Amino acid sequence: MKKLVLMLSTLVALTACTKKQAPAPEPEPATPGSLVLYYSQAGSTEKVAQLIAAKTGADIEKFDVATAYDGDFNATIARCQEEMKNGTVPELAPLTKDVAKYDTIYLGYPIWFGTYAPPVAALLKGVDLKGKVIVPFCTFGSGGIEASVANLKAALPESTILDGYGVRAARVDKAEAEVGCFLVCSGIVPGEKVSLPDFSESKPVSKADIAIFNAACGDYQMPLGIPVLVGSRALGDATEYVFTVKNKGQKDKEASTKIYVTAPNDKNVKPEFTKVVR
């Protein structure tokens, strides 16, 4: 009997030791995620948003305002002008995603009136983005990525704002390759980073330079001005030009802008107007 009691005591002791040596594993902490959060009226920004989500594995959500900008172009312009005149932003429609759980936000928008569209202003006012990494991306008629990023930095001083990616809506079909390069060069996804050469020193335009400028910009619906200086750099299978252009600014004062053009080495392919920097 004493031997049986001793055996049972030993078995209980061993079981207790085993439980102490192999405690139940604690749940792993949640990994902060990323979210592609975008506004798109005509569909161009949505295409870029979907590309970024596919390449990064981020969650994705399209946001809007309570009363959507669903009128035609002129109606949208009129509404925006009225909001700017009154110093108001539209009311934001409810989001389905909990933005608080994401540490990185890919923020997408079209450029209206030289900066991010009013729905983004509504988002910045209604959603707390403090402490998050913001990766802007946008589509535009002529340009605006630089100005919109500067405005984001001013509006979100406690967030980290990357330089961002922008593409003309007219050439959004080129976005897939460009987005891939942007994500790699920004260190967001792995890959071989490509360092671009500096532009050459600007010089007065030649007839050949003007011909390239006209071929790229001649069908743009608004006058872009007269090119006076040009710099260039080789991009492997193309040459990128930056034209200094003289035009009329506010109150008809002379202004200067930079217009970027990419000309493929294949002369049968038309040069492309990529952006304006005002």
Asked if residues 213 and 226 have their Cβ atoms less than 8 Å apart, the reply is: no
Q: Mark whether 172 and 78 lie in a shared domain.
A: yes
**Mean pLDDT to the nearest integer, 253-276:** 94
Q: Mark whether 130 and 213 lie in a shared domain.
A: no
| Res 278: pLDDT | 87
Domain limit, last residue, from 185, 220, 243: 185
In angstroms, rounded to a whole number, what is the distance separating the alpha carbons of residues 161 and 108? Answer: 13
Residue 223, judged by CB atoms within 10 A of its CB (0-12, 13-18, 19+), counts as exposed
| Percentage of the chain modeled with pLDDT above 90 | 74
Q: Mark whether 250 and 180 lie in a shared domain.
A: no
pLDDT band at 247; cut points 50, 70, 90: confident
Burial 89-121 (b: 16+ CB within 10 A, else e): bbebeebeeebeebebbbbbbbbbeebbbbbbb
C-alpha closest to that of 37 among 59, 67, 65:
59
CATH number of the domain that residue 62 is part of: 3.40.50.360
Q: Mark whether 60 and 127 lie in a shared domain.
A: yes
The DSSP output letter for 131 is: T
> The domain containing residue 270 runs over which residues?
203-277
Whole-number CA gyration radius for the chain? 27
| Res 248: pLDDT | 75
Cβ-based neighbours of 232, under 8 Å, separated by 6 or more: 199, 200, 239, 240, 241, 242
Separation of first and last alpha carbons in the chain = 97
Stronger pLDDT, 37 or 70, i.e. the higher one: 37
Q: Mark whether 129 and 212 lie in a shared domain.
A: no
| Res 56: pLDDT | 95
Cβ-based neighbours of 21, under 8 Å, separated by 6 or more: none
User: Count of domains in the chain?
Assistant: 2
**Mean pLDDT to the nearest integer, 176-199:** 92
Q: Considering the domain boundaries, does residue 16 fall inside one? A: no
| Res 6: pLDDT | 38
Q: Mark whether 176 and 69 lie in a shared domain.
A: yes
In angstroms, rounded to a whole number, what is the distance separating the alpha carbons of residues 118 and 210? Answer: 37
Q: Is the pLDDT of residue 3 over 60?
A: no
Q: Mark whether 140 and 43 lie in a shared domain.
A: yes
Cβ neighbours, 10 Å, residue 278: 15
C-alpha closest to that of 124 among 145, 144, 109:
109
Structure tokens at 199: 């532009």
Asked if residues 212 and 243 have their Cβ atoms less than 8 Å apart, the reply is: no
pLDDT band at 253; cut points 50, 70, 90: confident
Q: Is the pLDDT of residue 237 over 90?
A: yes
Q: Considering the domain boundaries, does residue 66 fall inside one? A: yes
Q: Mark whether 40 and 169 lie in a shared domain.
A: yes
**Mean pLDDT to the nearest integer, 91-116:** 96
Q: Mark whether 62 and 180 lie in a shared domain.
A: yes
Domain limit, last residue, from 126, 155, 185: 185
Q: Name beta bridge partners: 139.
A: 110, 167
211 CA to centre of own chain: 32
Structure tokens at 111: 């450029």
Q: Mark whether 62 and 147 lie in a shared domain.
A: yes
Structure tokens at 10: 């030993």
**Mean pLDDT to the nearest integer, 102-128:** 95
pTM for the model: 0.85
Q: Mark whether 172 and 217 lie in a shared domain.
A: no
Structure tokens at 132: 């998050």
Q: Considering the domain boundaries, does residue 17 fall inside one? A: no
**Mean pLDDT to the nearest integer, 222-248:** 94
**Mean pLDDT to the nearest integer, 173-188:** 93
Determine the angle formed by the axes of helices 145-155 and 118-126, rounding to 10 degrees: 20
| Res 14: pLDDT | 36
Q: Considering the domain boundaries, does residue 6 fall inside one? A: no
Q: Is 275 helix (H, G, I), strand (E, B) or coil?
A: strand
